[in-house]
Amino acid sequence: MRHSPNGVSIHPDPQALVSAIAARLITKLVDVQSRRGEATVVLTGGSVGIAALEAVTANPARTAVDWTRVNFWWGDERFLPQGDPELNSLQARQAMLAPLGVPAERIHAVATSNEVATVEEAAADYALQLAEAAAAEELAQGFEPVDPRLPRFDVLLLGVGPDAHIASLFPEMPGVRTVGATTVAVRDAPKPPPERISLTLETINTAEEVWLGVAGDDKAGAVGLALAGAGPIQVPAAGARGRTKTRWLIDQAAAAQLSRRLLDSEQEHAGTDDDEE
C-alpha cells in the first residue's frame, strides 16, 4: 500500500480496501467526537460504499464510537418507493445503521416517491432538511458555518462510476453544472433509475474531508483522468475536494491507469499520511 500527501492510498484488493475505509471512518469519528461531542457523515451507495458499512459493523473497534451521536446524510438517492431494495438509505440501514442502533433522528434520508410527487419536490425537501439542520447546529454549537444552508460535514464518502460520475452528478449533464443550490433533481440519469436526487458539487466541497472509494479495473480510466487534472464537467470525480483533505482510497485494479509520475510521487512521499491506520 502506498500513500501520498495528495491522499492517494492503493490497496491490494477490494476486501482490503473496504476494511481500510471502515477502520479510517471509525478512527475519524472517535477523533471528531472527542473534540465536538458529535459527528456528521455523508454516506454513498454502490458496492464499495455498502461493503465499507458492513465492514464497520464487523469491526470490533466500532464500540469506540458513540453511534447515538453520529448524524448521517446521503450524497445522492434514487427516486423510488419506500422499501425499494435499490434505495441507498435502505441498504445503509441494513448494512450498518440498524445493527449499530443509530437513532432515527440522526438519519436524514431523502424523501421517497411515496412521500412526495416529483423528484424536484424530493430535492427541495432535502435542501430544507439540510438548512434546518444547519440552523439547529449553529445555535447549539456556536460556530460559524462553512455555508449557512448546510450542516458541518466531517466526512463525505463518494463512489466513482466508470464514467467518472460521483453521487448522481454525471459528465456533461446539468447536475454537475448546477451552482447556487445545495441539491439538484436529476431526471435523465444515464443509468437506472433515471430520476435521482443529488447533492451539488458546491455542497460536496463544503465537507471537511472527502473520501473517494473506488475498486475495479472498470474504474481505472475514471481514476486516471480525475487524478491527472481533468475538468469536473467532463470528469465529475475530478471536482470533488474536501476543505482540509481529499482522500482517494482505491484498489490495485482501479490504480491501473495512474501515471508513472503520480506513482513515483506516492513512493517518494510514502508514510506522510498523518492518520493512516
* Domains located in the chain, CATH noted: 8-268 (3.40.50.1360)
- Please state at what angle helix 14-36 crosses helix 46-58, rounded to 10 degrees: 60
Cell of 63: 464500540
Q: Which pTM value belongs to this model?
A: 0.92
Cell of 120: 424536484
pLDDT-derived band at 5, boundaries 50, 70, 90: very low
Q: What is the pLDDT of residues 116-145, one digit of tens each?
A: 999 999 999 999 999 999 998 865 555 677
What is the separation of C-alpha 54 from the centre of its chain, rounded to a whole number of angstroms?
Answer: 15
List the helix and strand counts (H, then E) for the chain: 8, 9
Per-residue pLDDT averaged across 240-267, rounded?
82
Q: How buried is 50 (Cβ within 10 angstroms: 0-12 exposed, 13-18 middle, 19+ buried)?
A: buried
Q: What is the pLDDT of residues 86-123, one digit of tens each?
A: 999 999 999 999 999 999 999 999 999 999 999 999 99
CB atoms within 10 A of CB 275: 9
Whose CA is closest to 170, among 233, 242, 248, 246? 233
Average pLDDT across the chain, whole number: 91
Burial code of 154-167, b = ≥16 C-beta within 10 A, e = fewer? bbbbbbbbebbbbb
Q: What is the pLDDT of residues 16-63, one digit of tens each?
A: 999 999 999 999 999 999 998 999 999 999 999 999 999 999 999 999
pLDDT at 274: 43
Q: How buried is 239 (Cβ within 10 angstroms: 0-12 exposed, 13-18 middle, 19+ buried)?
A: buried
Cell of 85: 431494495
Per-residue pLDDT averaged across 235-258, rounded?
96
CB atoms within 10 A of CB 231: 11
**% of the chain at pLDDT higher than 70:** 88
pLDDT at 137: 82
What is the rounded distance in angstroms from the CA atom of residue 242 to the CA atom of residue 259? Answer: 23
What is the rounded distance in angstroms from the CA atom of residue 170 to the CA atom of residue 44? Answer: 15
